[in-house]
Structures are given as C-alpha cells and as structure tokens.
Amino acid sequence: MPTQDTLIWHNPRCGTSRNVLALLRHAGIEPQVVEYLRNPPDRAQLREMIAAAGLSVREAMRAKEPAYRERGLDDPALDEDALLDAMLAEPVLINRPFVRTPLGTRLCRPSEVTLEILPPLATPFFKEDGERIG
C-alpha cells in the first residue's frame, strides 16, 4: 500500500526514474507513484514541488528534450511563468524523478541524490547497471 507521505513523479521509460523507485522500495518505502506524463501536475503542484526541491523553474526543466529548443525555452529572457506554461503544456519538459519524503523533496538526478531524503539504508542498493550506492 502506498504511503501518503512519500511520492515520486515517475516515468517508467526512464532508467534513473526506475532506479529511484527501486531504491525507495529497497528502503522499505512504497511511495505513491504518479506517472506524471499520464497525470501531469497542475500549476500549483508543479510550482510547489520545484520550490520544495530548492530549484528554479529552469533548473527543473529537461533541457535535453527536443521540445526545449524547438519552443525556444533556452532563451534566458523567458520568465518562470513562461517556463511553467511550457512544462504544463508538454509535461515531458519536467525533469524527473521528483521525490518527496518526510525528510525532504529532491529532483533525484542522479539517483544517488535520493539518499539525502531517505533514512540510512540497512543494506547496499544496486542500480539496474549493477552500480552500488548506499
């Protein structure tokens, strides 16, 4: 059963997102999983998650997506509202995975960042590629 105090904005096609979800489960946490491409956040949720992670809106964007350049989002003159509008219109522009636990909120890229908001692991965790963390 998912715990209401832990949440991941997850993209199952993303290796980092899969590793973070597996790490949460390895830590004994069954998070609320939100596939944000299917169920995107609203403006308030998006703004709140970004702020809680201590990021600017631009830092929360996935600049590697073709839509980032196609929409001219690399223009430094664009304000945060314009960037939020783009993220809401095309959720693929939201970087992932965002995770909220009782210990904080982070954009967990790389996946090791997740350790900052987890209790200490009892045993090491191995990512999909075999790399050990924790």
For 3-12, write each residue's pLDDT tens digit.
669 999 999 9
**For 67-73, what is the mean pLDDT?**
95
Whether residue 19 lies inside any domain: the answer is: yes
Considering the domain boundaries, does residue 29 fall inside one? yes
The tally of CA atoms less than 13 A away on the side-chain side of residue 90 is: 16
pLDDT above 70 for 2: no
Strands 31-35 and 3-10, sheet pairing: parallel
For 32, the token pair is: 């609320």
Active site residue 108: no
For residue 49, tell me if it sits in a domain.
yes
The answer to whether residue 125 is domain-embedded is yes
Residue 30 domain-assigned?
yes
- Domain residue limits at 79: 3-129
Answer yes or no: is 43 within a domain. Answer: yes
* Residue spans of alpha helices (H) in the chain: 15-26, 43-52, 66-70, 80-89
What type of residue is 3? Answer: T
Instruction: Domain count for the chain, please give it.
Output: 1
Beta carbons of 82 and 71 less than 8 angstroms apart? no
Q: What CATH number did the domain enclosing 26 receive?
A: 3.40.30.10
Q: 75-132 pLDDT, tens per residue?
A: 999 999 999 999 999 999 999 999 999 999 999 999 999 999 999 999 999 999 999 9
Nearest to 36 by CA among 101, 87, 104: 87
Instruction: Please identify which of the residues 1, 7, 14, 83 carries the catalytic annotation.
Output: 14
pLDDT band per the 50, 70, 90 thresholds, residue 70: very high
Query: Is the Cβ–Cβ distance between 74 and 81 less than 8 Å?
Result: no
In a domain, 134, yes or no: no
Q: How many CA atoms lie within 13 A of 11 on its CB side?
A: 17
Within a domain: 106: yes
